[in-house]
Amino acid sequence: MSEAPIIVLLSLGRHPASGRARRAERDARALTMALGSGLSVIGVHAGAPHEALRDYRGMGLKRLVTLDVPDGGDPVSALAAFISSVPAQPRLVLAGSIAEAGAASGMVPYLVADALGVPLAPGVASLCPTQDGFDFVQALPRGGRRSLHAANGVVATVDLQGPRPRQVARGPALRGTIQRASMAATQTTPLLLPEVSQAHPARARPKRIGPTAAQATDGERRLLIDPTPREAAQEILKFLESERLLPRRQAEGARKLEETS
């Protein structure tokens, strides 16, 4: 394994209904992305080895390492130390954007990137290894997609827009051992979480029904009563054009219609 690997940070997830420990959805998507890239993959879990981690082996992960971090201890330094200790310098570290259990602040990938001194690309939907780095497709709100490029040595986080997670195969999941390693932590990295004064089960919060009275609506509201269908359609197209939502062909046509009407 002399080629530079991809490291995937793995955590334990919980089943939403039963609470049973299982693979985390976003981490599984990150692992699927890594396994599909064609490069060698090492999965790392900062914590005690748990049987649910075998789900990741069942997805086709050959090498899974757990680091000895006490509960409530500092995972970031251990992870950074492990990543730096891999003989072939890893090209990419993938992580889920947020954990499913525990404090779930989403800070660990950022602190690991800071400790390693590398940039971070959030919300990656797909990747493609290139000569000197990676081409990422980043998922934007409202279905947008953006193309990014980063040189070797980058951390990327994956959210639910990532590839669908591979199935877990029971045989490979049960076979093999999970490698344990303990990293001598040279320094502790604070997780930057504020002190919690109390915690209780989540309450359902009422959702807003519409824009509140104080929300400024830029633009006027219009009401058309019983227009002809053609007038109604023209109004709709004019509105969509002003919001720049029409597909380009139709937008030009709509502008032509407006000039003639």
Partner 1 sequence: MTDGKDAPRRDPRAARDQRQQRSAAPEPEAGMASTAETAPIRRADPRRLRNERSQPVSEAAPMIPRRDPRAGVRQRAATPAGTDSPTTASGPAVTRIEAPAAWCLVVPDAREGALSSHDRDVLAAARQVADRCNGGVIAFAPREAADYGAYGVDRLVPREASDGFAPERAIAVLTALARAYTPAHVFLPESLTGGGHLGRLLAARLGEPVATNVIRLSASEAIRRCNGGRTEETLALPKIVLLAPEAATPRFTDRREARLLTISADPPPERISDRGRLALDGSDMPLAEADFIVSAGVGVTEWPRFLAVAKALQATVGCTRAVCDAGHLPRNRQVGASGTLVDPRCYLCFGISGAPQHLQGIARCERVIAVNTDLHAEMIKRADLAIIADAQPVMASLLELLEEAPR
Q: Which residues, numbered 157-176, are part of the site for partner 1 (CB under 8 A)?
A: 159, 161
Identified binder of partner 1 from the candidate list 70, 72, 87, 141, rule CB under 8 A: 141
Q: Which stretch binds partner 1 (CB under 8 A): 1-9, 29-37, 77-85, 149-157?
A: 149-157
Which of 92, 82, 97 has the alpha carbon at shortest distance from 39?
Answer: 92
Nearer to partner 1, 45 or 65 (CB): 45
Question: Is 120 near partner 1 (CB under 8 A)?
Answer: yes
- Tokens 């937008």 -> residue: 251
Identified binder of partner 1 from the candidate list 44, 100, 127, 173, rule CB under 8 A: 100
- Tokens 């989403």 -> residue: 106
Nearer to partner 1, 39 or 254 (CB): 254
Taking a C-beta distance cutoff of 8 angstroms, is the pair 258, 238 a contact?
Answer: yes
- Indicate the residue type of 189: T
What are residue 133's DSSP bridge partners? 151
Number of Cβ within 10 Å of residue 158's Cβ equals: 31
Least distance between partner 1 and beta carbon 120 (Å):
7
**String marking each residue 204-223 x if it binds partner 1 according to CB under 8 A:** -x-xxxxxx-xxxxxxxxxx
CA-CA distance, 138 to 157, in Å (whole number)?
10
Question: Is 184 near partner 1 (CB under 8 A)?
Answer: no
CA-CA distance, 239 to 241, in Å (whole number)?
5
Site for partner 1 in 26-85 (CB under 8 A): none
